[in-house]
Chains A and B, each alone.
Chain A
Amino acid sequence: MVFREENSRRVGEVGALSEISGERSEIGRDEGTQPSPAPKTEALGMKTENLSAYYDSFKAVSDVDMQIRPNKVTALIGPSGCGKSTFLRCLNRMHEVIPNAYAKGCVKLGDQDIYAKYTDPVTIRRRIGMVFQKPNPFSKSIYENVAWGARINGYKGDMDELVERSLKRAALWDEVKDKLKKSGFDLSGGQQQRLVIARTLAVEPEVILMDEPASALDPVSTQKIEDTMAELKERYTVVIVTHNMQQAARISDYTGFFYIENMGDPGRLWEFDETTKIFSTPDRKETEDYVTGRFG
């Protein structure tokens, strides 16, 4: 569990983690084995101040202040095109990968400003992982899909063990342990998405960003992803964009509602609170209309 970059939290838990992976059994519910409660690992939270995102001169997201609590699931909801995904991509500097796209403002991971001068987005993205809407496994074997990210980041430990542990945490191990050499594309859509989650876990991030991770999946696969998420927050901070409000209500601790008041305006964070509050007694009328399905 030693990466090239210094990462005191992860290095500190070396012993504990390898023990856990040995005794913790499958996360899946049907196996009959009782998963021992996962010990909590403290992840870092995030914070944005005055974060705005642009595509060229078009302002897509305006002045978002958000506190993302560590070891919690934060859901971002709102109508299409209101900047949820753009905002999410700003959190690990993936937004700027798009030509002429850039962000202004401040995003902090713990105490570190990830947009500070001389901050390398490559190191940031290892610490803040991302799972996309459509499963995008690499055209490599299942094993290599998981191992690749860890290897390029200079992982020096036992690769077999890391691959197994990551696949177990993504609740995929039992389904693929006999065909690790097979291509990642041989898996079903839901399995592919869990493979992508596993490869994200393999580089030991602090935060996992998910952009509608289950929107392209069937209900059974969605259920598995949601189950996985409940486990993930024990170790990681999770931010998820979703169009499915039941999903947001089921899995998240905090919810942010994005909204565009007038056509052509940038998206804004309209309301942010604990999920129970957003879904029962939100402060603003638009939020209430949206979560009760009156529009959007």
Chain B
Amino acid sequence: MATKSGTQKNTRNGGSEGEAVFKSSVSARHALDRVFAVLVFVAAMIGLVVLAVLLVDIGRDGLPRLSWDFLASFPSVSPQNSGIYPALLGSLWLLGLTALLSVPLGVGAATYLEEYAPDNWLTRLIEVNISNLAGVPSIIYGLLGLGIFVNLLGAITGGQSIVSGALTLSLLILPVIIIATREALRTIPGAVREGGYALGATRWEVIRSHLLPMALPGALTGTILALSRAIGETAPLIVVGAATYITFAPDSPLSAYSALPIQIYSWVSQPQPAFQVAAAAGIVVLMVVLLLTNSVAIWLRNKYQRRG
């Protein structure tokens, strides 16, 4: 409540030495508070408005083009007959395989680093480098994937296959999963571990029954955000050889494949305007897949959080 301004002497000490004087112009402070509130509101709105404009624009271009045929057809030289089916399937394959590969590895690595590893220079070195890896541009991971999974291990991965793509994307998001899981494990109070040990539990029993379930919501959030990033990635997939034009649906991890962002990229670079429309429809499909993945994450997180 802003009251009258002006300067007032606080005479609680009866005017003796050490008396405190406060400037009592509260209204100026409240005004500053309101100005700041407006500023941060604007900051929040700018992000939201840009996102909304983007969504509306894409929706207006893409939604009319969206149909069952679009989802179920193969790409074609005529834009009207082009569909997204193999790319959608390819992306779902990538999503599933990447999750399957990166989650156990990431959670395992985080558990080791947080619960088992001694605190020494080696652990700290690994820690710093994992943080650094999270910031490496994705194209670098693409080149690594090309060198290792496509060329060196081509006999096992089938070269330019879904497995190679999924392994590359796994490398890309592993650091993020490890960091998220470690953070989640770190927030669990030591009292939980001690309570377990005091009952005669081994380290693994405490981790399995208490720490991992408690860390799950946090780890899941990080993991799904990372997976969302992976499914939107284009650069590394182009490098490891995702096809832009395939006429068959991937049916095994060793198949050649396309992916949604690749398909969209390929359509956008075509001259005919009708392909641009197909690209917009493809973006809508990609968004829906992303939103579905994220809502699964949120559902899982709430489900496990409620037990806590």
Are A and B a genuine interacting pair, yes or no? yes
Whether a CB of chain A sits under 8 angstroms from the CB of B53 is no
Contacts of B213 in A (CB 8 A): 139
Whether a CB of chain A sits under 8 angstroms from the CB of B17 is no
Q: Contact between A203 and B191 (Cβ–Cβ < 8 Å)?
A: no
For A149, give its contact among B192, B200, B307 (CB under 8 Å). Answer: B200
Contacts of A15 in B (CB 8 A): none
Closest 7 CB pairs of A and B: A126-B200, A149-B199, A136-B191, A130-B198, A136-B195, A125-B200, A139-B308
- Residue in B closest to A135 when the chains form the complex, CB atoms: B191
Q: Contact between A125 and B197 (Cβ–Cβ < 8 Å)?
A: yes
Q: Contact between A129 and B198 (Cβ–Cβ < 8 Å)?
A: yes
Q: Contact between A138 and B210 (Cβ–Cβ < 8 Å)?
A: yes
Whether a CB of chain B sits under 8 angstroms from the CB of A97 is yes
Enumerate chain A interface residues (CB-CB to B < 8 A).
Answer: 92, 94, 97, 99, 122-127, 129-130, 132, 134, 136-140, 148-149, 152-153, 183, 185, 196, 199-200, 203
Contacts of A130 in B (CB 8 A): 194, 198
A153 to B196, CA, bound (A): 12
Contacts of A136 in B (CB 8 A): 189, 191-192, 194-195
- Residue in B closest to A134 when the chains form the complex, CB atoms: B191
Whether a CB of chain A sits under 8 angstroms from the CB of B178 is no
Contact flags B201-221 to A (C-beta < 8 A → 1, else 0):
110010001100110000000
Contacts of B193 in A (CB 8 A): 97
Number of B residues near A (Cβ < 8 Å) is 22
- Residue in A closest to B200 when the chains form the complex, CB atoms: A126
Q: Contact between B198 and A125 (Cβ–Cβ < 8 Å)?
A: yes
Contacts of A138 in B (CB 8 A): 192, 195-196, 209-210
- Residue in A closest to B203 when the chains form the complex, CB atoms: A122
A198 CB to closest chain B CB (Å) equals 12
Q: Contact between B199 and A132 (Cβ–Cβ < 8 Å)?
A: no
Check A94/B198 contact, CB under 8 A, given A138-B210, A139-B214: yes
A143 CB to closest chain B CB (Å) equals 13
B83 CB to closest chain A CB (Å) equals 48
- Beyond the given pairs A99-B118, A132-B195, A148-B199, 10 more chain A to chain B contacts, judged by CB atoms under 8 angstroms and listed by A's residue number, are A92-B198, A94-B197, A97-B193, A125-B200, A136-B192, A138-B192, A149-B199, A153-B200, A183-B307, A199-B199
B284 CB to closest chain A CB (Å) equals 40
Q: Contact between B200 and A122 (Cβ–Cβ < 8 Å)?
A: yes
A109 to B305, CA, bound (A): 41
A152 to B209, CA, bound (A): 10
Contacts of A122 in B (CB 8 A): 197, 200-202
Q: Contact between B209 and A148 (Cβ–Cβ < 8 Å)?
A: yes
- Residue in A closest to B305 when the chains form the complex, CB atoms: A139
- Residue in B closest to A99 when the chains form the complex, CB atoms: B119
A137 to B214, CA, bound (A): 13
A139 to B214, CA, bound (A): 8
